Structure 1
Amino acid sequence: MSGVASQVVLHPVTSQSLKLLGTTTGRDKTYRAVQYLARFLAWFLLTRGYKDQSVRWNALKSHLALGRKMMRLGKPLENLQAALRAIQSYGKGETGEQITTIARQLSYFGYLSYDTLVWANAIKFITLKPETAQKVNKTANRFWLAGILLNITHGLLKAGRLANEAKKLRSGPAWSEKDVGAEADLELKYRSLEVARAATRHQFVIDVLDVWLPATSLGLVNINEGVLGIFGLVTSIMGFRSQWIAVNGKK
């Protein structure tokens, strides 16, 4: 039994998981996946008439949401820094991409700043009137929606640019045997472009699914909790996978 336990505890996957969970982003992605799974299960059980079991999962969803808000304290400053860096480098890249980057970071700064007030009010650290709390939450969701829409726009612009660059590389002049080094360099650039295109498509899918979360909260669309839970779970798993690769360096 001890041998089996040792194999599980000391298994490379266990070590990689602990390494991932040792990062704030890794924990956030994990909590987010459980949060949206709980959101789906709460809806599923409620629609099947299991109210008591639904309450349990709904409570888990709510507490994880509050915990994630606390973990994001100070995060708005990161977005503000990113916006300022983008402003300082303005003119050194594609104008459309730079503008959407700046606007997106400012939107997320606004979203997370207002979200901090939502959290502080929820834990009774500050007391907001019900109508004020509702306005703050609505404003946070507006900034969140704006940030995702800007990210989608940014992704479309970047995808178009990368596609054009890849096309130019592939349609370039044929290389002779004397230009083996140049051909290898060309192939390396093309592979780098393909990696960037894949990452852009990956983020685009996440944004297209996540955009319905704030849109529903604002009443712009009417999507049930079950579908939103699935959307959130899928994008959480996608984000978790990306973070796993970033931390452990392997798929």
Structure 2
Amino acid sequence: MASIASQVILHPTVSKSLKYGSTTVGRDKAYRALQYFARFYAWYLLSRGERDLSARWNSLKSHLAIARKLLRLGKPMEHLQAAIRACLSTANPVEQVATIGRQLGYFGYLTLDAVVWANTIRFVTLKPETATKVTTFSNRFWLTGVLFSIANGVAKNSRLALETKKLQHGSNEIDLSEKAGRETRLSAVSAARNQTRQQLLIDMLDLWIPATNTGLTNLNDGVLGAFGLITSVLGAHQQWAAVNGK
């Protein structure tokens, strides 16, 4: 019995899960997936008339949202640093501008989100109308960041597609070392392109959440919960690969 327990507890998957959960990003992705599942499931239960059970899942969604705001308290400075690094880089001009816009958008969003969190836990007290304005501006910054991220993804994907085409149709009259180098570069570009496409998918689904929060669209919690769950799982997969390798 002890042998079976040790095999389960010490299983490589359990060890990788603990390693994943030890990172702040890993925990945030897990909490986000559960939060948006709860949002979807609460909507589903309410549509079936199960109000009490729906309220339980809605409460879980709300408390996970508050917990995630606490986890992200240091994130605005990370995005501000990334914006400054992008200003100093020599990247493609379109990608550079889009990256700066994305980072500044997320900086504004997460900074105001921290104010929302402080008001929610009554650490600071804002007038109801002020709290509403802060939340609205926070979501506008979020929407701006996502739009710039989409623009960056489109520009980057176009550049990588052009580079892939050049590598695939390059001259065949080259020595073996140059051919190996071209194949290595092609593999790297292909991996970068796949990652860019996945981020584009995440952004295009996430876009609807702040768009709805700001009143630009009117999607229900079922749709937004499903979108959020999908992007959370995709983001969690990226973080898992970063922590544990593919």
TM-score bracket, normalised by the shorter chain, equals over 0.9
Alpha-carbon separation, structure 1, partners of 2:234 and 2:242: 13
Gaps spanning 5+ residues in structure 2: where? none
**Deviation digits for residues 92-150 of structure 1 (CA, Å, limit 9, x no counterpart):** 22100000111110111000000000000000000000000000000000000000000
Partner of 2:126: 128
1:88 CA drift (Å): 1.7
Gaps spanning 5+ residues in structure 1: where? none
Counterparts of residues 204-215 of structure 1 (less than 5 Å): 204-215=200-211
- Tell whether 2:181 aligns with 1:185: yes
Match of 1:173 among 171, 174, 181: 171
- Tell whether 2:234 aligns with 1:238: yes
Partner of 1:95: 93
Give 3-state SS (helix, strand or coil) of 2:171's partner: coil
1:5 CA drift (Å): 2.0
Q: What TM-score, normalized to structure 2?
A: 0.98
Alpha-carbon separation, structure 1, partners of 2:80 and 2:203: 21
Range with greater deviation from structure 2 (28-37 or 2-11): 2-11
Counterpart of 1:221, as a letter, is T
- Tell whether 2:223 aligns with 1:227: yes
Partner of 2:146: 148
Tell me if the contact between 1:175 and 1:183 (Cα under 8 Å) persists in the aligned partners. Answer: no
Alpha-carbon separation, structure 2, partners of 1:93 and 1:203: 19
Partner of 1:196: 192
1:50 CA drift (Å): 0.7
Give 3-state SS (helix, strand or coil) of 2:95's partner: helix
Give 3-state SS (helix, strand or coil) of 2:219's partner: coil
**Deviation digits for residues 1-29 of structure 1 (CA, Å, limit 9, x no counterpart):** 33332221111000000000000000000
The ranges of structure 1 where at least 4 consecutive aligned residues each deviate by more than 6 angstroms after the TM superposition are: none
Q: Taking every aligned residue pair, what percent have the same amino acid on both sides?
A: 57
Q: What TM-score, normalized to structure 1?
A: 0.96
Partner of 2:57: 57
Alpha-carbon separation, structure 2, partners of 1:175 and 1:191: 20
Figure out how many residues of one structure are paired with residues of the other and give that number: 246
Partner of 1:38: 38
Counterpart of 2:154, as a letter, is L
